[in-house]
Amino acid sequence: MLYIKLQGGLGNQMFQYAFGRALSERSGIAFKLDTTLYTKLGGAYAGDTPRTYLLDNFSVQVDIATANELRQFPQISSSRIIRKLFSFSKKYITESTYSKDLALDPKQDLYFAGFWQNESFFKEYRQLILKDLTLRPEKFSKVAQEMSETIKQAEGSIAIHIRRGDYISNALAVLHHPVAPLQYYEKATAKMTELYPNASFFVFSDDIVYAKENLKSARPMTFVSSPNLSESEELYLMSLCKHQIIANSSFSWWAAWLNQNHSKTVIAPLQWFKDPSLGTDIVPSEWLKI
């Protein structure tokens, strides 16, 4: 059995699920998700942004690991001493120790811990993952349905995602994630308008008031985010747009990746992390960086 650790918000959960799903398909070995972080620690380690397990809003077919099954992996123990003693165990795989050439034995249980933020881990199973990460009909409200019709009827629908929230308010997030500046969105909207003169922008943000006050365009602009829409609905609505301007956020990364428009244009920030040595491959080569 393969066990995949889940951590972070919806976008990160999707990366980890996609990695596990692809690994399972490639090896023929079943996988389970470790959701302990969401059931015991409120979805986050001390000081980090609280999170909720959200993959069950989608059409994923997966089992959740039990506490009994996870006891065989001392590295995930709450004891720092135990974790250190077993840190070199071959049963516990991190991104730094993982290789696609890793030999997987169906008789050996393995635990995978990481963020896996690179489509190369799962790109070959795109169609399967697109199906799995389809929002369940019962999770799609009337408000979301009405907005989806508006988006579908717009000739040149372009999603814009502005991520602020914990990138400003949470000390740990601030250390790693810069906020994409307003100039980025100005350049990106100008580029999209140049490419698609019939552009209609649909704006999503965890700070929609900021977006309304600062984002301007000569083209129609609809501010979508509201308390009446769930995170899962907003991500799905973003993916329905023909093109995307994303933030340096796994949330809008997945909205763009799930977009099934074969001629889509995706614009992403040139700088993803504050440390430029991190995450250099997170943005697919065919997306534009500004």
126-149 pLDDT, tens digit each: 999 999 999 999 999 999 999 999
278 torsion bin: left (phi>0), alpha (psi -120 to 50), beta (else): beta
Spatial distance between the Cα atoms of 261 and 49, rounded to a whole number of angstroms: 33
Q: Give 229-240 pLDDT, tens digit per residue.
A: 999 999 999 999
Across-strand partners of 204? 161
**Mean pLDDT across 210-219:** 92
Residue 244 main-chain phi, psi, to 5 deg: -135, 140
Spatial distance between the Cα atoms of 161 and 35, rounded to a whole number of angstroms: 27
pTM: 0.91
Q: Is residue 283 within 8 Å of residue 272, measured between CB atoms?
A: yes
Distance, CA of 167 to chain centre: 15
**Mean pLDDT across 184-206:** 96
Res. 170: pLDDT tops 90: no
Q: Average model confidence (pLDDT) for the chain? A: 89
DSSP conformation class of 47: T
What angle in degrees, to the nearest 10, is found between the helix axes of 231-240 and 10-27? Answer: 70
Q: Who wins on pLDDT, 167 or 187?
A: 187
Distance, CA of 169 to chain centre: 20
Give the per-residue pLDDT at 83: 46
**Mean pLDDT across 44-51:** 65
User: By C-alpha distance, which of 167, 145, 137, 151 is closest to 48?
Assistant: 167
